[in-house]
Amino acid sequence: MKFFSLSIVPAVVIALGCQSAAQPVKDSKPPVKPEAGNEKPAVVEGKYHKVNFKQLSSYAYEVPDDPISDPKTKALMEKNQIPEAIKKLDKQDVAITGFMLPLRVEDGKITEFLILRDQNACCNGMVPKINEWIHTKMPKGKGVKPMMDVMITFYGKLKVGEVFENGYLIGLYEMDGEKLSDPLTAPSPLKPGESPKPAN
């Protein structure tokens, strides 16, 4: 059973993210640029390289409204550039911490989901930046239990590059999921006006 088409991911992020958040969380810190000579993250748990959303969202990327066949879109896509330091993460085994937003469920297990940097920013009426989520699919028969509103570390093979559906740009990151950790902290009741903190 499929919950949502990936082509409406931004709307889904707004709709579902707001259901579990009382107030938006604003990140006032400036973007952190990938540093030259520091492209290879530390290795954790054997083969996985630890990365974070500060790295993945450290650059501006303007999303075109029109399909790739439009000349204006083509010109904009030529202007947009994913930094080389980020491109080097393509096809790497990585570990990244974020929030789960389920997209597809089979036999009670989540088989397709988004990893979000901040599930609450959307409640301010803003769609998360296109480099602040990772579209993830688990192997057939290896779905995971849903874990909402808590930060989780996800493990898998990261894919870096523009993703199109029906000619429209819908993402920059995908992951072949392999496993995930238990929640980093036990979920606790939120106080009025309080929201879970965004992942780095």
Q: With b meaning 16 or more CB within 10 Å and e meaning fewer, what string describes 118-135? A: bbbbbbeeebbbbbbbbb
Cα 55 to chain centroid, rounded: 12
Contact 157, 168 (CB under 8 A): no
Residue 42 is predicted with a pLDDT of 64
Read off the pTM. Answer: 0.73
Q: What is the pLDDT along the chain (200 residues), one digit of tens a residue?
A: 444 444 445 444 444 444 433 333 333 344 444 333 344 556 666 799 999 999 999 999 999 999 999 999 989 998 888 999 999 999 999 999 999 999 999 999 999 999 999 877 555 566 789 999 999 999 998 999 999 889 999 999 999 999 999 999 999 999 999 999 888 654 444 455 555 566 66
Domains of the chain: 44-118+130-180 (2.40.50.870)
